[in-house]
Structure 1
Amino acid sequence: MSVLVEQAAEHWQYVAPLVCKPRTEADYDRLVAALDELLDLTGDDEAHPLNSLVDIIGDWIEAYDEEHRPMPQVSGVKMLASLMREHGLTQSDLPGVGAQSVVSEVLSGKRQLNLRQVRWLAERFGISAEVFI
């Protein structure tokens, strides 16, 4: 048996709860709490030896969320309206989409966003263009 496997076997009872995919809400909650602690411990140190464990647990939490708490699909128009409310913007504040009348038509569903407008909105809000498609 290699030294690495021997050491892992020796400490497995302590490590095992952290390296098991969540199957229940209790598992999920335990991993979220562990991830919070690990992030406090590792901080901004990208070379910290525990960062690989942070990545693994983060991936498992994300996968559990996607399976058990899927995000509702929102239309690009609803997303735009939501972002405008969130940022306190009016229709006139989006010149990259067009004049206020064009934005109004987009928001009312009378007009669809074109590729240029989608790209502008994605850059304006710092999010993926896919959100508006």
Structure 2
Amino acid sequence: MANIMIAVPEKYALEVSSPAPVTSERQHEEYLSVLDQLASKDNPTSEEEKYAEVLMTLIEAYEEEHHSIPDAPPVEVLRTLMDANHLRQKDLVPIFGSETIVSEVLHKKRGLNKTHIEKLSKRFRVSPAVFFSRTMNR
């Protein structure tokens, strides 16, 4: 792998002179903060863009190892999102069409269809992929 030097403005300097793999929550937060600063720039330099790419790669690697969401059945994902948003079955009627269908889905008597998944992903601002069973093709 070629060694690439990236010039970074001093105001973005981290604890180390060049980014290294993230090894702690403190370092993760520091990298996120710098990435936020870079992302908020209207006209970043090419060096800043390269630096942001390096930070994103390091942050993603850390998050994959330490913050990944375990495989969960789609209904459990839905229940978790409902709890996090303080929603009850009746709040999802506009998505499912009736409280009966909501109940059937939550009690695993009916699966989610494409329309449900599209509406749920928009409602909760999550990827539609979270509503697909990850164990289906294993």
Q: TM above 0.5, one fold? A: yes
Name the counterpart of 1:67: 65
Is this contact kept in 1: 2:105–2:112, CA < 8 A?
A: yes
Higher relative contact order (CA 8 A, sep 6+): 2
Query: 1:117 is matched by which residue type in structure 2?
Result: H
Which protein is richer in helix relative to its size?
1
> Which is higher, the Rg of structure 1 or of structure 2?
1
Counterpart Cα distance in 2 of 1:87 and 1:38: 28
Name the counterpart of 1:11: none
Where does structure 2 lack aligned partners over 5 or more consecutive residues? 8-12, 133-138
Runs of at least 4 residues of structure 1 off by over 3 A?
14-17, 19-22, 28-32, 37-40, 67-70
Name the counterpart of 2:135: none
Where does structure 1 lack aligned partners over 5 or more consecutive residues? 9-13
TM-aligned CA distance change 1:32 to 1:52, over 3 Å: farther
Q: Is 1:45 aligned with 2:10?
A: no
Pairwise CA RMSD: 2.9
Name the counterpart of 1:114: 113
Counterpart Cα distance in 2 of 1:60 and 1:31: 9
Identity %: 31
Instruction: Point out the more displaced range, 83-92 or 60-69.
Output: 60-69
